Amino acid sequence: MIVDLPDTTTSAVSRRIVTLRADVGSMALSRVLTLVVIATESEAEGAIATAMAASRQHPSRIIVVVVGSRRGTPRLDAQLRVGGDAGASEVVVLQLAGPLADHGRSVVTPLLLTDSPIVAWWPGQAPNDPSGDPIGAMAQRRVTDAVASRGAPKSVLARLAAAYADGDTDLAWSRVTLWRGVLAAALDQAPFEPVTAASVVAAPDSPSGDLLAGWLAVRLRCPVTLTRSPNRTGIISVRLERASGPIDLVRPVDGNTAVLTQANGPERAIALPHRSDAECLSDELRRLDPDEVYEDALRRGIPTLRTSRRTAAEAERAGATPSVAAAKRATARIARQARLNASGAMIEAASPAAAPKASR
């Protein structure tokens, strides 16, 4: 159900929510938090879809603040979405115009769920100081997205680091969760040798590459080199140098499967899919305490990184980083062998068992 309330007030919105609750059912009684989304008109629908998908694991009241033109008279247009049009949540869209556009906190405050945590999310351009923003200041958790921010990843992350406060996080950090898990699991296996150096290859527009490299620098306490791959997107590969040989984790750009290779070990195909914004946002809604690991990667790890002057292709030819082409061939080879093994198992299962010989 979608209800439009043009040229309204927060009091009228609150009353209508109570009325809808009585009509539709006790939809708001299981809400665990209030998610406040600050977006532009062009970002609003995409952000609502992402927030609704994330809310299936974290039922919440989603308040979307859409800042319109600051010209003209103050005006508040609202829209309420409940039931099937709101997923597992109730959605309140507030469009602010005129001088009211600068007073989002005052409009949002009467609509917050009582005695529940507040999470603020900027799906697009975030303020330079999220914790100093009026809405961000009242939130226990503040989620930004460095990918959607204007500027090069290095400058965006430097700005986030300078203004960092407990509760800050970024979706670029959530996008490296699977990479971190695979690398940590690889290091938990023998031989248990220290990593002497590491390298990360990522696209120039990937802040996740910087954060992954920063995390490695802090946790492994070794030099980490970041190489840019201008013709690709996202994180491409990671190499961890050890005395017995490197650990290489490579994800070809056109797939969701990575290849993990270690010295004296077989090549392994690892599921490493590209994560959606809804998955990443859902991860960030799971915790409301400060993320010290993210803080370390952002503030301590990234400043220590070495940026390679080589291109990704030059680094590959020099043997400093893993080969993406070799990883593609390995992925195809592993998939082909898996199909052969599956086919052989089917043939064996379909063959009738030999009849026992009759005893004389």
Which of 29-43, 186-200, 289-303 shows the lowest mean pLDDT across its residues?
Answer: 29-43
Distance (Å, whole) CA 232 – CA 201: 10
CATH architecture type of domain 177-338: 2-Layer Sandwich (3.30)
Task: Of 21-35, 74-88, 134-148, 166-180, give the lowest mean pLDDT range.
Answer: 21-35
Question: Is pLDDT of 207 > 80?
Answer: yes
Structural tokens at position 190? 């023998």
Task: Supply the pLDDT for residue 118.
Answer: 96
Which residues are CB-contacts of 344 (< 8 A; sequence separation ≥ 6)? none
Per the structure block, which two tokens stand in for 165?
A: 């406060």
| pLDDT over 80 at 101, yes or no | yes
Residues 6 or more apart whose CB falls under 8 angstroms from that of 327 comprise 237, 250, 251, 252, 258, 259
Of the pLDDT bands very low, low, confident and very high (cuts 50, 70, 90), residue 360 is very low
Of the candidate ranges 58-67, 138-147, 178-187, 257-266, the one whose mean pLDDT is the lowest = 257-266
What is the number of residues in the chain?
Answer: 360
User: Where do the domains of the chain lie?
Assistant: 2-170, 177-338
SS3 234: coil
Q: Give the C-alpha distances (Å, rounded to integers) separating 346 from 334, 336, 341, 352.
A: 18, 15, 9, 12
pLDDT in tens, 306-319: 999 998 889 999 99
Euclidean distance between CA atoms 41 and 238, whole angstroms: 38
| pLDDT greater than 80 at residue 92 | yes
Name residue 260's beta-bridge partners. Answer: 249, 268
**What's residue 282's pLDDT?**
95
At 153, list the tokens: 């990843």
Q: How far is CA 163 from the centre of its chain?
A: 20
Mean pLDDT throughout 172-182? Answer: 97
Give the confidence band of 346 by pLDDT, cuts at 50, 70, 90.
low
pLDDT band at 117 (very low <50, low <70, confident <90, very high): very high
Establish how many alpha carbons lie within 13 A of residue 151's alpha carbon, considering only the half-sphere containing its beta carbon: 14
d(CA 305, CA 323): 22
At 186 the pLDDT is 94
pLDDT tens, residue by residue, 230-250: 877 789 999 999 999 999 999
Q: What is the pLDDT of residue 295?
A: 98
- Quote the tokens at residue 248: 């290489």
If you average pLDDT over residues 61-67, what whole number do you get? 94
Report the percentage of the chain scoring pLDDT > 90. 68
Quote the mean pLDDT of the chain: 89
Distance, in Å, from the CA atom of 228 to the CA atom of 69, rounded to the nearest integer, reads 39
SS3 185: helix
pLDDT of residue 343: 67
Please state, in angstroms and rounded to a whole number, the distance separating the CA atoms of residues 118 and 98. 26
Confidence of residue 359 (pLDDT cuts 50, 70, 90): very low
Exposure string for 45-57, b = 16+ CB within 10 A, e = fewer: eebbebbbbbbeb
